[in-house]
Amino acid sequence: MEHGKQIIKVLIAANQLLFRRGLRALVAAEADLEVTGEAVNIAETLQRTRELSPDVLVLDLDLIQGCDQSSLMALRQAKGSAALLCLGDQDGPAKLELAINAGAQAYMFKNSIPSHLLAGIRQVSVEDQNAGIISRIVPDLQALAATSRVYARGPVLTAREQEVVRLLAEGRTVREVASELALSVKTIEAHKLNLMRKLDIHSRASLIEYAVRNGIVPVPATC
């Protein structure tokens, strides 16, 4: 490894032993990548992610197939600033929606060639430092989802955008949302402006209506 080059810590979560071992061997052979651990189910994934604080969580989507929204929310919270790279067998609507709800930054096929998979891990590890990066290896998850018929019905919101919508629709101020999500006020303002453009919404009342209609917040009780 080159002197001073940062090691990328990788946690592998997959329920198939052979797939997990093969992925581990592939990653471990790279000088700038280090496998910090493995997980075989969602509970272990949450625990290991909190304990090991990986830079990248590589997750087989089969492991979270059938998980409810509370489990996916727990995964998003547990991973914190770690990048999430999901691996699946296909790019159908259900797989893409699952990856987005889990908070993934990227989605790749399990049968991707090894060099592409390694490049994908490296790319997502620096995504936050290179906002707006255009990938030749890992397709943009939102763009990929937008090509699906399921998403033709309306804009796709990221997990973070859904959190912002929920909190704003519940009556939180921008400053309160920033505090709850441990983000800067400027970041939440940017999310809010982007959401209004994305959803073509121009008032809090319309935002609440959208959130209720899409199940982001519960329907208000009536007397």
pLDDT of amino acid 40: 95
Residue 218 lies in a domain: no
Amino acid letter for position 85: L
For residue 43, CA distances in Å to 86, 111, 120, 219 come to 17, 26, 25, 30
- Same domain as 161, residue 143: no
Amino acid at 111: N
Is there a single domain that holds both residue 142 and residue 206?
no
The per-residue pLDDT string of the chain (223 residues; one tens digit each, 9 = 90 and over) reads 444 568 999 999 999 999 999 999 999 999 999 999 999 999 999 999 999 999 999 999 999 988 887 888 888 888 888 889 999 886 666 777 788 788 888 888 888 888 888 988 988 887 644 433 334 345 555 555 554 444 334 556 777 888 888 898 888 898 999 998 888 888 888 888 878 877 777 777 788 888 877 778 765 544 3
Of 125, 151, 177, which residue constitutes the final position of a domain? Answer: 151
> How many Cβ atoms are within 10 Å of 193's Cβ, its own excluded?
10
Whether 23 and 84 share a structural domain:
yes
20 plus 123 within the same structural domain: yes
Maximum CA extent, the chain: 67
Spatial CA neighbour of 116 closest among 85, 147, 92, 93: 85
136 and 89 housed in the same domain = yes
Tokens of 1: 């490894």
pLDDT at residue number 34: 95
Residues 140 and 163 in one domain: no
CATH of the domain at 180: 1.10.10.10
Residue pair 107/144 in contact (Cβ under 8 Å)? The answer is: yes
Q: Are residues 54 and 122 in the same domain?
A: yes
Q: Look at residue 58 and tell me if it is in a domain.
A: yes
Residue 127's pLDDT is 61
Put the strands of the sheet holding 83-88 in their side by side order: 33-39, 8-13, 56-60, 83-88, 106-109
Residue 192 neighbours by CB under 8 Å, 6+ apart: 164, 168, 174
Give the pair of three-digit tokens for residue 201. 């919404």
Cβ 58 vs Cβ 32: under 8 Å = no
pTM of the model: 0.60
| DSSP codes joined into one string, 81-128 | T-EEEEEES---HHHHHHHHHTT-SEEEETT--HHHHHHHHHHHHTTG
User: Looking at the structure, do residues 146 and 38 belong to the same domain, yes or no?
Assistant: yes
One-letter amino acid at 98 equals L
So what's the pLDDT on residue 52?
94
Q: Is residue 2 part of a domain?
A: no
> Are 68 and 84 in the same domain?
yes
CATH of the domain at 76: 3.40.50.2300
Q: Is residue 1 part of a domain?
A: no
138 with 185, same domain: the answer is no
pLDDT at 42: 93
Token representation of residue 17: 């032993």
Is 186 a domain residue?
A: yes
Cβ burial 5-22 (10 Å sphere, 16+ → b, else e): eeebbbbbbbbeeeebee
Residue 221 lies in a domain: no
Co-location of 179 and 135 in the same domain: no
Q: What is the pLDDT of residue 8?
A: 94
Residue ending a domain, among 132, 151, 170, is: 151
Type of residue at 104: A
- pLDDT value at position 73? 86
Specify the number of domains making up the chain.
2
143 φψ region: left (φ > 0), alpha (ψ -120 to 50), beta (else): alpha
Query: Is there a domain that residue 111 lies in?
Result: yes
Q: Which domain holds residue 174?
A: 157-213
Choose one of 108, 124, 151: the last residue of a domain: 151
Same domain for 17 and 90, yes or no, is yes
Residue 222 lies in a domain: no
